[in-house]
Structure 1
């Protein structure tokens, strides 16, 4: 089965500037390779055959590295002329896809979700959009997500201390047709304009995956990624 994925890799990485000052976040070194290398390896292992990199800040670094590296899957590029927000970056990248079904992953997050299982979950629940959720304890860096008994998302909670809960792991499955049907602006936040309003429609579902998760957006977790992913080199 042909599986396509949009990788959101256009962020500025301002919180990582103290340790990675001159690179986009996805190019932050982990061992002797950029973080993006490990993400693409994971996508390949999960059956992704075509990844579209949604790029903005220092896009030429990413393109140059991809063009000079033996990659395990086919890669295309969708480059923003101006910052479009997470949602605008996704819509811009839809033009580079070849099919309708798609995964979306954050380019600064490594979450070992079983992607075929996520896709089957989405189909079984007849969802419009499915999110991979990570169970966490003792956290305040992320908002939490509430599910009903059928694993339908019925609330997104703002960032606050949470003793135990589910967070958005930054991996989604949906269709290009669904996203195009929303009549969204050119520049927008995917979280604010799509995810949060989607609670009222009742067809967004949460797929729980208690697997390895790391977000390299802050120096402490970037250091943790060095240890885990560096061992995979």
Structure 2
């Protein structure tokens, strides 16, 4: 399986840190977020990874070039950000018509990649997306899920003040190829997964809850907490 790592974000809520460091290279315990992702994915058998770049792209290119995984990484630059779904669409040929993993590289996680893939392969036939889920301590900052008895997403509450629960979208997905076709049917280059694709696929998304660590490093407080909470290995 191939994986797309969404790594082009500006990281405005992490300023002033991200004025000089790309969001995907923000360090936790001295290691860039991106390195955690590369070790996690390739260590679980992912064949190749594609990274989109935008903000401070030369730093990302240089870092990837020094990675021990460099031979298995492809880079694509976006002069204008295409949105999370737009990046999927723009690189549809790279996925070779096969199911693929998509992840936001600004999360810090140690989820079980192999178990996630296995859950997708065993999903109910109607489901075309599998979504990693996690329990959040800040529900209003996340997309909160409601599930049916089979673990299928039936409602999605994106960043609401009083969401119904704390099971959140972990922004890691496995897409079947037909999802890319649906994104293409929108007829526009800029598409957002959370606000456009996910709502359209309700009742066709399998939720897979991780029991490991998962945190969106979206602001300086989240980064501080990650430093105190996250234990490697």
- Interval containing the TM-score (normalised by the shorter chain): 0.7 to 0.9
The CA distance in 2 between the partners of 1:189 and 1:12, in whole Å, is 16
Residue aligning to 2:57:
59
Report the CA distance between 1:92 and its aligned residue: 1.8
The CA distance in 1 between the partners of 2:114 and 2:70, in whole Å, is 18
* Alpha-carbon displacement from aligned partner over 1:156-209 (angstroms, at most 9, x marks no partner): 12422458421001110112343124413211111111001211xx22121122
Residue aligning to 2:83:
85
Residue aligning to 1:212:
213
Report the CA distance between 1:117 and its aligned residue: 1.9
State the number of aligned residues.
228
Q: Which segments of structure 1 move beyond 6 Å, counting only runs of 4 or more?
A: none
Q: Calculate the TM-score normalised by the size of structure 1.
A: 0.88
**2:170 counterpart of 1:169:** yes
The CA distance in 2 between the partners of 1:89 and 1:135, in whole Å, is 27
How do residues 11-30 of structure 1 correspond to structure 2 at under 5 angstroms?
11-30=9-28
Q: Is the 8 A contact 1:134 1:168 kept in 2?
A: yes
The CA distance in 2 between the partners of 1:15 and 1:138, in whole Å, is 16
Q: Is the 8 A contact 1:48 1:73 kept in 2?
A: no
Residue aligning to 1:189:
192
Q: Is the 8 A contact 2:40 2:113 kept in 1?
A: no
Q: Calculate the TM-score normalised by the size of structure 2.
A: 0.88
* Alpha-carbon displacement from aligned partner over 1:97-132 (angstroms, at most 9, x marks no partner): 345111111010122222222222222222200101
How do residues 1-233 of structure 1 correspond to structure 2 at under 5 angstroms?
3-71=1-69, 74-98=72-96, 100-124=98-122, 125-126=124-125, 127-137=127-137, 139-158=139-158, 159-162=160-163, 164-182=165-183, 183-184=185-186, 185-199=188-202, 202-227=203-228, 232=232
Unaligned runs of 5+ in 2: none
Q: Alpha carbons of 1:143 and 1:218: their partners in 2 closer, same or farther (altered >3 Å)?
A: same
Which structure has more strand as a fraction of its residues?
A: 1
Task: Using the TM superposition, name which of 23-32 and 5-14 deviates more.
Answer: 23-32
Q: Alpha carbons of 1:163 and 1:98: their partners in 2 closer, same or farther (altered >3 Å)?
A: closer
Unaligned runs of 5+ in 1: none
RMSD after superposition: 2.2
SS at 2:42 equivalent:
helix
